Chains A and B, each alone.
Chain A
């Protein structure tokens, strides 16, 4: 079935790079997304990657996609305390809007 898995916690020091990993099972995924959720708030779309790409860079964010292994990662360079949040990996499947979310990775940034 459709499943998206992520590690639950990541702790880094301010200024270091953070790497959040995600695996998915559906090979028909068209887009893969990273969302950020701050406490008590909705989800903010951070970045996305089309399934025929293997890398996308957007300022401090780098997304790497290994389609063969169905592995997606989000690297945040120069992590700041304001980056502390929950990061959700998600895939859209079937060419439509249906989106499957991972459980979210809680990023703690220590000053």
Chain B
């Protein structure tokens, strides 16, 4: 149980285009989903927290107009990187929080999406 999927797993795009990444909780309902960014050999940096049906809460320094987050249902959240630039190239990981896991504060992570902007 507690499986989170992401699509696509890899994406290469041209500079200036927008890319949408989907995060789905497959066998549970996630009231809260998180988006992280991971740079090579570094830890995860929390970008934003989204609750179903409400606006996402962005961490300091993360541009909300550039990284659009939509959490339309209890099983799906999307991250759209708008007008992508090479510096947006990174590994993006989502996670979903559930009260049905081993702890009420546990997050289950997706496999990540590697974005390369040319």
Contact = CB atoms under 8 A, between A and B. Distances in A.
A99 B43 contact: no
B98 to A, nearest CB: 10
B43 A88 contact: yes
A97 B112 contact: no
21 contacts: A31-B105, A35-B109, A40-B112, A40-B114, A42-B6, A42-B93, A42-B110, A42-B112, A43-B93, A43-B109, A45-B107, A45-B108, A97-B32, A97-B34, A97-B97, A97-B105, A98-B49, A99-B105, A99-B107, A103-B42, A103-B43
* Chain B interface helix/strand/loop/mixed: strand
B105 A42 contact: no
Interface in B11-68: 32, 34, 42-44, 46, 49
A31 B109 contact: no
B15 to A, nearest CB: 23
Contacts of A50: 103
A30 interface: yes
A57 to B, nearest CB: 15
Contacts of B110: 42
A48 B44 contact: no
A102 B42 CA distance: 9
Contacts of A97: 32, 34, 49, 97, 105, 107
Contact of A48 (B6, B43, B103): B103
